[in-house]
């Protein structure tokens, strides 16, 4: 059975991320994109909030997590966000892209994109 997708684009947050001392001192921009895989059939039929994967609840949890955390790498932050989506909020699978705008000279942004499912966190 193919899963449906919920897409969250360009969630711009601020958090501590980076290896350098100066990156650990103040929050910087972090751009997050998500593709959450789920079965939307029941929610599509019932039109009831209880039958859907609530992307508002998920994004609120991501916002709180990013604002309260301090990661050294975008890889670790992306993994934590994926875990939050699939383990804590029930997505079947998640593609998470985390970028640091302006991290490299001459590049708009740099980041990673990972794909995780529940089995990756067992």
Looking at residue 34, its pLDDT comes to 98
20-43 b/e (C-beta count within 10 Å ≥ 16 → b): eeebeeeebebbbbbbbbbeeeeb
Could you tell me the residue range of the domain that residue 30 belongs to?
4-121
pLDDT digits (tens, 9 = 90+) for 37-57: 999 999 999 999 999 999 999
Looking at residue 31, its pLDDT comes to 98
94 in Cβ contact with 115 (< 8 Å): yes
User: Residue 87's domain is classified under what CATH number?
Assistant: 3.30.1130.10
Reported as a pLDDT band with limits 50, 70 and 90, residue 81 is very high
| E strand segments, 1-102 | 4-17, 28-38, 70-71, 93-101
CA dist., res. 85 & res. 48, Å (int): 20
Looking at residue 101, its pLDDT comes to 95
Across the chain, what does the average pLDDT equal? 95
CA dist., res. 32 & res. 8, Å (int): 8
Tell me the whole-structure pTM to 2 decimals.
0.94
Question: How many H-runs (helices) and E-runs (strands) does the chain carry?
Answer: 3, 5
Taking residues 76-91, report their average pLDDT: 98
CA dist., res. 114 & res. 109, Å (int): 16
* DSSP labels, 17-33: E-SSGGGGTS-EEEEEE
* Burial status of residue 44 (CB atoms within 10 A of its CB: 0-12, 13-18, 19 or more): exposed
pLDDT digits (tens, 9 = 90+) for 9-25: 999 999 999 999 999 99
pLDDT at 1 over 90: no
Q: How many domains does the chain have?
A: 1
């Amino acid at each position: 059975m193919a899963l449906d997708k919920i897409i969250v684009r360009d969630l711009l947050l601020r958090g501590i991320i980076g290896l350098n001392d100066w990156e650990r001192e103040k929050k910087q921009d972090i751009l997050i994109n998500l593709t959450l895989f789920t079965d939307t059939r029941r929610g599509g039929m019932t039109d009831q909030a209880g039958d859907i994967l609530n992307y508002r609840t998920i994004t609120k949890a991501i916002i709180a997590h990013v604002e309260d955390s301090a990661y050294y790498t975008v890889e670790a932050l992306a993994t934590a966000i994926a875990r939050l989506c699939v383990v804590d909020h029930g997505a079947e699978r998640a593609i998470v892209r985390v970028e640091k705008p302006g991290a490299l000279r001459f590049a708009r942004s740099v980041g990673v994109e990972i794909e995780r499912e529940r089995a990756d966190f067992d």
